[in-house]
Amino acid sequence: MSATSPEKQEHASTDSANQLRLKRILVPTDFSDSAEHALKYAVRLGKPFKANIFVLHVFHLQEYLALLSDRDQTDAGAASEVLEAAKNRAGNKLEELVRRSEDKEVALLPILLVGVPFEEIVRYAAERDVDLIVMPTHGRTGVAHLLLGSTSERVISHSVCPVLVVRTRPAEKIHPTS
């Protein structure tokens, strides 16, 4: 009986000839400019492979609770209405993002889930045997970074597939010459 060592095991992103294979790319989005930049990067990366790109937004219940707290009185019916309206808005934003990013050489598939973002990203990637996750980093530093950590860091720590974190730099300021 022979056991396969971890060094001998291959991930789905490589084929038997050890060539890169990117057929399924996951791009989580929070609809920020940096997330859109990561999506554009993933589209360019996926073109040679005619990849399926899953554009995933995780509707976090904290968003919903924030909307509820803005209301003076909330009953179960109102809470349900607010939740459905918020999910519909997120779904519409996701569809619009996919429409704006369409490309003939890759298939962009919008996915809307409810839950904790990093958990849903990691779970979805594992269930769909994703070859690569491409996501932005917002460059969070200081106390917020120490206390909360970032979604990107959590995905990197828990993902079974490679994660490419795309850094977006602020636009360079152009100073006119006198």
Higher pLDDT, residue 116 or 55: 55
In sequence order, what are the residues at sequence separation of 6 or more whose Cβ sits closer than 8 angstroms to the Cβ of residue 86? Answer: 59, 63, 64, 67
If pLDDT is split at 50, 70 and 90, which confidence band does 127 have? very high
Percent of all residues in the chain with a pLDDT value above 90, rounded to a whole number: 50
Per the CB < 8 A criterion, the answer to whether 46 and 104 are in contact is: no
The pLDDT value recorded for residue 147 is 43
- Closest listed residue to residue 151, CA positions, set 140, 162, 167: 140
If pLDDT is split at 50, 70 and 90, which confidence band does 61 have? confident
Residue whose structure tokens are 């993933």: 42
If pLDDT is split at 50, 70 and 90, which confidence band does 86 have? confident
Rounded CA-CA distance 91/56 in Å is 10
| Two structure tokens written together for 172 | 């360079």
DSSP 155: H
| Identity at 46, one-letter amino acid code | G
Counting every residue written for the chain, the total comes to 178
Per the CB < 8 A criterion, the answer to whether 38 and 166 are in contact is: yes
Higher pLDDT, residue 114 or 64: 114
The pLDDT value recorded for residue 1 is 45
Q: What is the residue-averaged pLDDT of the chain?
A: 80
pLDDT digits (tens, 9 = 90+) for 5-59: 444 444 555 444 467 789 999 999 999 899 999 999 999 999 999 999 999 999 8
> How many CA atoms are closer than 13 Å to the CA of 64, on its beta-carbon side?
20
Single pTM value for the model? 0.76
In sequence order, what are the residues at sequence separation of 6 or more whose Cβ sits closer than 8 angstroms to the Cβ of residue 132? Answer: 13, 22, 24, 25, 26, 42, 45, 161, 162, 163, 164
Q: Give Cα 128 distance to the centre of its chain.
A: 14
The pLDDT value recorded for residue 75 is 66
